[in-house]
Homo-oligomer: A and B are copies of this chain.
C-alpha cells in the first residue's frame, strides 16, 4: 500500500483506536467492538476499509465454546512513515521495517551550522544535509524494526510465562507511551480504575512498576537492581 492511503487510514479516530487495540493482541470482532465507544456497525465498516486497503488481515478461528467460528483480525503491515510540511518543503515516505540489522550509523550534524553565502553553496549544502537525512531515516528504520521484534518477543514471553492478557495490555501501553495514567488505561481497557490498579499491582510482581498519583511507569531502578541480581545468579 502506498503512503497516501495510510494517511487516509490514520485520519480517522475509530481506525486509530482499532489499530491501537490490535497491536496489543489479535482480536475477534465482538471483543474489539466491546472496547470501542462507537456502534458495532461503525467498527465493522472501519475494519472492512482497513482490510480492503491491506492494513489488516482476517481469519476464522473456533472460539472456546460451541458455535460459529470467530473472525480474528491482525495488522498486516510493518512500516514507519515520515512526512515534513513547512512553507518551503513537503515530502513523505514509508520505510519498510524488516529484520536486517543495521551497522554503525554516524550522523554528523556539524554541517547544520555552516552558513553558505552563494546560491551554489546553498544548493551544495542542501544536498549534503539531505545525505545526513538519509542516514537518519536508515537509523529510524533499524530502530523501529528492532522495537517491533522486541515487542513481539515481550508479548509472546508474557503470555507463555504469566498468561494474563490485561497485565500484558498495561505493560504494552506503558512501554509504548513511556507512562500511563490510571484513567487512560481505564478507558482503553474498559475496566474500572480500581481494577486497573489491581492488575497493575499484579504486573508489578513480574515487571517492577512505579505507581504513584494515578500514574504508572516502569521502575527503572528496581528493574536494574533485579537484572543485576539475575545476571550475577545466571553467570556460569
Residue pairs across A and B with Cβ atoms less than 8 A apart, 20 shown, are: A19-B85, A75-B86, A78-B85, A80-B84, A86-B148, A89-B147, A89-B176, A91-B176, A104-B110, A105-B109, A119-B157, A119-B206, A123-B171, A124-B223, A126-B147, A126-B154, A126-B175, A129-B147, A133-B143, A136-B139
Q: A13 interface residue, CB < 8 Å from B?
A: yes
Instruction: List B contacts of A158 (CB < 8 A).
Output: 119
A120 touches B223 (CB 8 A): yes
Which chain B residue shows the least CB distance to A130? B147
Q: Give the size of the chain A interface in residues (CB under 8 angstroms).
A: 95
Q: In the complex, are the beta carbons of B133 and A147 less than 8 A apart?
A: yes
Residues of A participating in the B interface, judged by any CB pair closer than 8 Å = 4-13, 16, 19-20, 22-23, 55, 74-92, 97, 101-107, 109-110, 112-113, 116, 118-127, 129-130, 132-133, 136-137, 139-140, 142-144, 146-148, 150-155, 157-158, 161, 171, 175-178, 206-207, 218, 220, 223-224, 226-227, 230
